[in-house]
């Protein structure tokens, strides 16, 4: 199970410590405390721009609230057909929007392209207004958009009057993999709003919606409140982000997870009969293994199906986290090789 | 313009007469009058089964109410990617359901198959409950499902616990084309609920939702009312259906429309450079013509785009109605041939 | 039953004739025909202002679409606690808005006042944004707002940033009773949008949403379409309104209904033991009668309950229509007196 | 500020410790871990019945999800007009339900009665189905329902086919005040589902929806997921509840908060010119003070308005928490007396 998800890892000690330290005395609730304000300011520093930041309880809430902020009933949301928001969130975006239509598009390794977007809109955009496109960074197939790929997509989106959302559940892994600044891969590349995830990378539970143009956030606070997504004791989320964003901890943790995934992928690839379905670029690996290997290692719970993956139900997913150790990877690979 | 749509035709005189005759004295409103009850009974005769019938103002209301009756927020609705309910109704089904997800599937000439349905559900059905599949008879590409095609689809649907909805905006044209009984092509073939359209085939405005298992209709009346879809002076809709269903008028009118479409399609097909995109089976024709012909005849408003049609924006739609005359068809074809 | 509702009456012959005359040749559908455009222009003449007009199938659709156009989820809609939109439309406004909250207010004879509005907002308006107030003209208690009453309410609404909607299911009866111009009692008195009803006053089924500031209507057409409320053969609705608004027919019919109601109310009031619960001002009468009289005349179906009416279940409603005759009124009153 | 809310207090050390202890090794996410399962079992012990428990991020999510599970669009939800779910949650219940109507009822000190409920349903229940009534324990006015008061209400609810929801944001304070078992004041008194709050009583952020009849919870997990309310690292919530429910910590903390509130209320009541608006029964106090006192102590942020409170904007709210100390109360009262 240790490669089942980055959600299964504990929180990083520095983050846990920050939570403990925040537990001192009375503090205003619902995000009006000074700690929360300082952390919001810290987001602006990280992104080199005055951003509007809203903490929310889960990644699904972040995606669905951010997207539905721009897409009401009767509008189109463009997404990859493997997008988490499309297949794994129980229709949250459609629900929060009161009935937007998500238009699923194809694309290599979970990536959207301007071409696929324009094709998809062909028969539809004169019948319903398309409002927003959501891309995932890193993608659901473990790939990472380059800056120019994001820019090319957002340029096409802008021409059609679309806003651009980035699902950054694994944003840290993408930034660490790319080695670019958070600003370069988001607003400077044309992204309007993002879901900034912490839970998969060392936090207890810390997710944020970040608007790169603050006026876009008008009305978002009410939207968040009526979704039951305003945390009363915000200090405990702020404390997590405070430690997470300090001293580049978030990128250090993500870089480690990526490195562990590289080590694991390199090993898996060398297994006889193994096939990698996507290039490993961040902390996820999609692979198929001989049935014997699968059964021997008890990997049934790793099985992973995405629409149109062509893997015929034979794909497995492995995820490394900040807490994965080289020894774990080695032990697993050794077990895999043994017979 | 005369082949632009079957919506542009006037109402049939017999139907208009019935409306005028219904305008006599006081009658209870909201469908509690005797005329309405008799017409509802007539539906049961036509379908050889005790059906539950609800009149609604439009075809969109019929589709969206019928589908959302079975599919709430967070559920999956399967449809062809060219389905009217998917691309032409401004997200009505998603809106009425409070956020169901419509899963668009591919298929020849607007037809769904069990295979496409099962493929489409592959990556999704364990993440969201799939509730219903909607097929259109005749399809948006002018094709007609054979009884065995419907039966094969509904059998696959039933195995997966799905209800089956038929969008019958042009049901009369399909029944006339098939030469089968209305029962054979609906509930006997496994259909649970349908949108039964009259407006495109000689009515002023008369649409109905028909449940083939009456208990399925529980709660539908409230659903219809809160959608603003309960017509107060129901007698004027009932009168239309009364004449429409009398003496097989509905099938006579549809058969005529189909015959006119056949005549037109045969002629179009013989035009130099013409290409039919789908076999003409009911009253719609999808064709591309040489640009010169198009321009000379002023056919820009006939342009028709459906997702994935492969026609590169060159497809035109022609529709014949109960009111189309052979002379109109001849005159048009003559003009097309002349240069 | 003849006083059960104005919905039970037939259509006026002039309106039925107009419908028959509209049944000539092909006409563009969905409201793009010339007849529809002319009738929309006629609305602008009637209201002495360039209005934006949208035909919809029912009064419930008119109310719910108009109100929800300004009030989304999480917003407040102010209304009288006896408002049709509040108690008789199965939650259509809440449904169409995706969850607006209707705040029910008290007030004499179905009338809202600035005072009641401000009181009602007391504990709530700093927690949720109040967007719109809806008043009914004539009210659900058969009363008619004077121009200054509407103006006083809309002034208070404007100060709080609220739009004002008028439910005009019986607007004709109110205008006829007041003897003012349609403009004076609507936009000149501060009303932003109204539901303009025809079905209760001689039409077969003709309802419209009228925006007095055309830019307010941005996006309304998509809203209407995804509600399944765009009638394909619009000509048949336009024809009704064409005749309805010609030569002041609408006001003539309403004035007759009001006169019949006056005659009936005067008679009822003289019955021993009768009590009128509201002044009769338009075409509705709310009265209680001795139990003996009620039973003898079989008036159980006239029973009428509104929240907080204080009538302890003893109130009856009588409605007169354009088709009510003096002879019917006389015969009823005679029967009531006889014992 | 120290009496501004029980939300401003830190978490209790025992609860913080439990969170730290849970941060050990990998654990399955989304609530499938053993700790979560043990804590769910613990709920069943606390309530002496096999309950179905779902953790959610906030009290608003708990209320809105629990209520909307039983009340869809077009249905009625009965509540007190001062209910948190009615006035303080930005329309979350209406939003989650897709447009249910909340019917606000009057009642002493925030308490609903069978009488008020039946009165409120008078004019409405034959027009819309009433599905559920929600009561708050302790109420928004700081009062506590006795067992027989809850039982009387739930009996009336049951007769009308309503489910009963209890908003238990301050359930611990109510149980501590009553000295009854949690079972006695909930399911044994007829409650079907509750929001069980921890955040106001020593947790960092821990809320749960508890169904007393497990089958009622069918479909709730999907509902929770599409609301973005499934916490991925559930262990950190489970750990909180684990400590909270151990050794009656929750009741000890609540009893302390109540005792502090009693001490404060007794002192406030003795201030010249003070008026208590409701009996102090749990940990909240509603009082008005002379303007001079208010200003001198800087109590503007304590101002509290509820619909129909009759306090003319002069009411202040004080809340004590598990962390309030006698010294704080004494110091405040001393400052209040001094002039």
Does D20 contact A16 at a Cβ distance shorter than 8 Å? yes
Which 3 state secondary structure label does DSSP give A326? helix
Q: Which chains neighbour C (Cβ–Cβ under 8 Å, 3 or more pairs)? A: A, B, D
What mean pLDDT do residues D117-146 have? 92
Q: How far apart are the first and last CA of chain C?
A: 20
Numbered residues of chain A with Cβ closer than 8 Å to any chain B Cβ: 73-75, 82, 87-88, 90-92, 94-102, 104, 120, 122-124, 127-128, 305-309
Set of chain A residues whose Cβ sits within 8 Å of the Cβ of D92: 225-228
Beta bridge partners of A331: none
The tally of CA atoms less than 13 A away on the side-chain side of residue C139 is 27
Of D88, D73, D75, D86, nearest in space to D112 by CA = D86
Q: Which chains neighbour D (Cβ–Cβ under 8 Å, 3 or more pairs)? A: A, B, C
- Residues A56/D227, Cβ–Cβ less than 8 Å: no
Instruction: Compute the nearest-CA separation of C69 from chain A (Å).
Output: 12
Set of chain D residues whose Cβ sits within 8 Å of the Cβ of C80: none
Does A91 contact B100 at a Cβ distance shorter than 8 Å? yes
Cα-Cα-Cα-Cα dihedral sign, residues C254, C255, C256, C259: positive
Tokens of D201: 């009583």
A288-to-A73, A209, A244 alpha-carbon distances in Å: 40, 35, 34
Rg (CA), chain C: 20
What's the complex ipTM? 0.96
Strands A163-168 and A193-197 turn out to be parallel
Q: How confident is the model at residue B338 (pLDDT cuts 50, 70, 90)?
A: confident
Q: Give the separation between CA A321 and CA A324, rounded to whole angstroms.
A: 5
Averaged confidence pLDDT in chain B: 95
Tokens of B29: 């409103």
Closest residue in B to D75 (Cα) is B222
D122-to-C70, D128, D131 alpha-carbon distances in Å: 30, 11, 15
Which 3 state secondary structure label does DSSP give B47? helix
Does C226 contact A98 at a Cβ distance shorter than 8 Å? no
Averaged confidence pLDDT in chain D: 95
Instruction: Compute the nearest-CA separation of B115 from chain C (Å).
Output: 30
Considering only CB atoms, C307 lies closest to which of D75, D96, D122, namely D122
Beta bridge partners of D134: D79, D165
Q: Give the separation between CA D229 and CA B64, rounded to whole angstroms.
A: 28
Q: How confident is the model at residue B307 (pLDDT cuts 50, 70, 90)?
A: confident
Q: Give the separation between CA D159 and CA B102, rounded to whole angstroms.
A: 40
Mutation to test the C interface, candidates D123, D141, D309, most C Cβ within 10 Å = D123
- Residues B238/B39, Cβ–Cβ less than 8 Å: yes
pLDDT at B289 over 90: yes
Numbered residues of chain D with Cβ closer than 8 Å to any chain C Cβ: 73-75, 82, 87-88, 90-92, 94-102, 104, 120, 122-124, 127-128, 305-309
Q: Which residues, at least 6 apart from D179, have a Cβ–Cβ distance to it below 8 Å?
A: none
What mean pLDDT do residues C179-199 have? 98
Instruction: Compute the nearest-CA separation of C196 from chain D (Å).
Output: 23
Which 3 state secondary structure label does DSSP give A167? strand
Does B73 contact D226 at a Cβ distance shorter than 8 Å? yes
- Residues D162/D133, Cβ–Cβ less than 8 Å: yes
Q: Report the largest interatomic distance among the alpha carbons of chain C, rounded to a whole angstrom.
A: 61
Kindly report the three-state secondary structure assignment for every residue of B175-208. HHHHCCCHHHHCHHHCCCEEEEECHHHCCCCCEE
Rg (CA), chain D: 20
Closest residue in D to A98 (Cα) is D98
Angle subtended by helix axes D235-245 and D13-21, to nearest 10: 140
Does C227 contact B92 at a Cβ distance shorter than 8 Å? yes
Mutation to test the A interface, candidates D232, D237, D240, most A Cβ within 10 Å = D232
Considering only CB atoms, A58 lies closest to which of D199, D229, D323, namely D229
Q: Give the separation between CA B154 and CA B152, rounded to whole angstroms.
A: 6
Which 3 state secondary structure label does DSSP give C210? strand
Report pLDDT digits (tens) over B119-144: 888 878 788 999 999 999 999 999 99
Q: Give the separation between CA B127 and CA A88, rounded to whole angstroms.
A: 6
Report pLDDT digits (tens) over C239-291: 999 999 999 999 999 999 999 999 999 999 999 999 999 999 999 999 999 99
Considering only CB atoms, A73 lies closest to which of C98, C128, C129, namely C98
Instruction: Compute the nearest-CA separation of C226 from chain A (Å).
Output: 7
The tally of CA atoms less than 13 A away on the side-chain side of residue A315 is 18
Instruction: Determine which helix (DSSP H) or strand (DSSP E) holds A176, and give its type and residue range.
Output: helix A171-178
Report cis status (omega within 30 of 0) of the bond before D169. Answer: no
CA angle D169, D170, D175 (to 5 degrees): 130
Report pLDDT digits (tens) over D20-77: 999 999 999 999 999 999 999 999 999 999 999 999 999 999 999 999 999 999 999 9
Tokens 């990128």, residue located: A251
Report pLDDT digits (tens) over A255-266: 999 999 999 999
Does A60 contact D10 at a Cβ distance shorter than 8 Å? no
What mean pLDDT do residues C92-115 have? 96
Q: How confident is the model at residue C25 (pLDDT cuts 50, 70, 90)?
A: very high
Q: How confident is the model at residue C1 (pLDDT cuts 50, 70, 90)?
A: low
Tokens of A246: 């300090």
Tokens of D5: 């809310």
Q: Give the separation between CA D12 and CA B305, rounded to whole angstroms.
A: 63
Q: Which chains neighbour A (Cβ–Cβ under 8 Å, 3 or more pairs)? A: B, C, D
Q: Give the separation between CA D81 and CA D95, rounded to whole angstroms.
A: 18
| Residue A302 pLDDT | 92
Report pLDDT digits (tens) over B151-190: 999 999 999 999 999 999 999 999 999 999 999 999 999 9
- Residues B110/B141, Cβ–Cβ less than 8 Å: yes
Instruction: Compute the nearest-CA separation of D119 from chain C (Å).
Output: 9
Considering only CB atoms, B204 lies closest to which of C58, C60, C233, namely C233
Q: Give the separation between CA C100 and CA D262, rounded to whole angstroms.
A: 39
Of C339, C224, C333, nearest in space to C3 by CA = C333
Q: Give the separation between CA B103 and CA B116, rounded to whole angstroms.
A: 11
| Residue D1 pLDDT | 52
Q: Give the separation between CA A204 and CA C108, rounded to whole angstroms.
A: 57
Closest residue in B to C87 (Cα) is B226
pLDDT at D267 over 90: yes
Mutation to test the A interface, candidates B60, B77, B85, B101, most A Cβ within 10 Å = B101
Considering only CB atoms, D228 lies closest to which of A11, A60, A232, namely A60
Beta bridge partners of A85: none
Tokens of D9: 């207090």
| Residue A139 pLDDT | 97
Tokens 């975006």, residue located: A93
Does A231 contact D58 at a Cβ distance shorter than 8 Å? yes
Q: Give the separation between CA D117 and CA D119, rounded to whole angstroms.
A: 5
Set of chain C residues whose Cβ sits within 8 Å of the Cβ of D141: none
Task: Please count the residue pairs, one from chain A and one from chain C, whose beta carbons lie less than 8 angstroms apart.
Answer: 20
Does A228 contact D62 at a Cβ distance shorter than 8 Å? yes
Write the Ramachandran bin of D14: left for phi over 0, alpha for psi from -120 to 50, otherwise beta. alpha
Number of H helices, E strands in chain D: 13, 10
Report pLDDT digits (tens) over A167-224: 999 999 999 999 999 999 999 999 999 999 999 999 999 999 999 999 999 999 999 9
Does B92 contact C226 at a Cβ distance shorter than 8 Å? yes
Does B100 contact A94 at a Cβ distance shorter than 8 Å? yes
Residues of chain A with pLDDT under 70: 1, 339
The number of beta carbons lying within 10 Å of the beta carbon of residue A207 is 28
Share of chain C above pLDDT 70, in %: 99
pLDDT at C123 over 80: no
B76-80, strands of its sheet edge to edge: B52-56, B207-211, B193-197, B163-168, B130-136, B76-80, B101-105
In terms of Cβ atoms closer than 10 Å to its own Cβ (0-12, 13-18, 19+), residue B126 is exposed
Which ranges of B160-219 would DSSP assign to H, the alpha helix? Answer: 171-178, 182-185
Q: Give the separation between CA C183 and CA C175, rounded to whole angstroms.
A: 10
Does C74 contact A98 at a Cβ distance shorter than 8 Å? no
Q: Give the separation between CA C96 and CA D99, rounded to whole angstroms.
A: 8
Numbered residues of chain D with Cβ closer than 8 Å to any chain B Cβ: 72-74, 98-99, 128-129, 222-223, 225-226
Tokens of C295: 């039973």
Instruction: Compute the nearest-CA separation of A303 from chain B (Å).
Output: 12
Which ranges of chain C would DSSP assign to H, the alpha helix? Answer: 13-21, 34-46, 59-68, 84-87, 92-97, 114-121, 147-159, 171-178, 182-185, 220-226, 235-245, 249-270, 291-297, 326-337
């Amino acid at each position: 199970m240790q490669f089942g998800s980055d959600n299964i890892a504990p929180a990083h000690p520095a983050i846990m410590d920050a939570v403990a330290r925040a537990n001192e005395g009375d503090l205003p609730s619902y995000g009006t405390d000074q700690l929360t304000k300082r952390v919001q300011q810290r987001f602006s520093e990280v992104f080199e721009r005055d951003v509007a930041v809203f903490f929310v309880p889960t990644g699904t809430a972040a995606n669905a609230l951010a997207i539905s902020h721009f897409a009401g009933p009767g509008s189109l949301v463009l997404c990859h057909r493997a997008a988490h928001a499309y297949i794994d969130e129980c229709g949250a975006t459609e629900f929060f929007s009161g009935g937007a239509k998500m238009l699923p598009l194809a694309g290599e390794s979970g990536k959207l392209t301007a071409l696929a977007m324009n094709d998809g809109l062909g028969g539809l955009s004169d019948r319903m207004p398309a409002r927003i496109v959501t891309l995932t960074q890193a993608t659901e197939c473990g790939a990472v958009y380059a800056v120019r790929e994001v820019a090319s997509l957002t340029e096409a989106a802008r021409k059609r009057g679309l806003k651009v959302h980035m699902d950054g559940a694994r944003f840290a892994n993408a930034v660490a993999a790319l080695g670019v600044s958070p600003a370069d891969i988001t607003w400077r590349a044309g992204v309007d709003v993002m879901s900034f995830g912490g839970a998969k990378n060392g936090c207890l539970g810390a997710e944020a919606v970040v608007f790169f143009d603050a006026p876009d956030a008008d009305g978002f606070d009410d939207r968040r409140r009526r979704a039951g997504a305003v945390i009363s004791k915000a200090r405990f989320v702020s404390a997590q982000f405070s430690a997470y964003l300090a001293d580049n901890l978030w990128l250090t943790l993500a870089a480690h997870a990526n490195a562990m995934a590289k080590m694991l992928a390199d090993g898996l690839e060398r297994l006889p009969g193994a096939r990698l379905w996507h290039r490993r670029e961040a902390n996820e690996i999609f692979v198929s293994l001989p049935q014997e290997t699968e059964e021997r290692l008890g990997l049934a719970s790793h099985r992973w199906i995405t629409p149109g993956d062509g893997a015929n139900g034979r794909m497995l997913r492995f995820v490394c986290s900040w807490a994965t150790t080289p020894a774990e990877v080695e032990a697993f690979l050794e077990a895999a090789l043994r017979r």
